Amino acid sequence: MTRQETVVVLTLLAGNYESFAKRTETDEQVKIMLDTWQECLGDLDYNLVLQAVKKTIIESPYPPTIHDIRKNAINMINPTMQRTAIEAWNEAFKMICNGIYMTQEEFEVHSPEVKRFFGNVRQVKELAQCDSDTINTVTKGQFLKQYEAITQSEQERRLLPPKMQEFIGKLANKMSVNQIGE
């Protein structure tokens, strides 16, 4: 989305929410708002953002935040068909059952949340060697406890613009390298 398209989005919002229009009374306020909205939504397609804005206008009498618009836009292109924890466990269990023979390529085709629980294909292979009682009690219990936190974290990550995701990743790597050096 270009800067000019961001202006159109903000104009649309100001035309539908009086309190939104009041936030842009000075040139400095307009510049700050425009810069922030451009930075946070600029990676998205303009038409997608417009549809997300219109959806938000229809759904809420209150002025939306960047989060509201971005969440609606992301959900339009990537609907969160969040599975129940048991449905996700079924996927994880199948992975464990086939784990001895699992390759990295096979591991990569699974859902991000389930992959995140395991961490890597080596962990799946190790669990595949455990007895079924341990898998059906201990591992299942751990998975079900962690699933909600994992899915919430994954949804929050998806909402971030790619540049922010990249920055956070670099910062996290830098911090972990600094901690190792201490």
- Among 66-70, 72-76, 159-163, 173-177, name the one with the lowest average pLDDT: 173-177
**pLDDT by residue (tens digit) across 145-164?**
999 888 888 777 777 788 88
DSSP designation for 99: G
How far apart CA 9 and CA 37 sit, in angstroms, is 9
pLDDT at site 113: 86
Average pLDDT over residues 88-113: 92
Query: pTM for the whole thing?
Result: 0.57
Look at residue 82 and tell me whether its pLDDT is greater than 70: no
* H/E run at residue 173: helix 162-181
Q: Where are the domains of the chain?
A: 3-77, 85-181
Where do we find the tokens 């219109």? 54
How far apart CA 160 and CA 101 sit, in angstroms, is 35
Where do we find the tokens 């201490």? 182
**pLDDT by residue (tens digit) across 42-56?**
999 999 999 999 999
Orientation angle between helical segments 140-159 and 66-77, nearest 10 degrees: 110
Measured from the Cβ of residue 109, the count of other Cβ atoms closer than 10 Å reads 7
Q: Above pLDDT 70, what percent of the chain?
A: 93
pLDDT at site 80: 55
Look at residue 112 and tell me whether its pLDDT is greater than 90: no
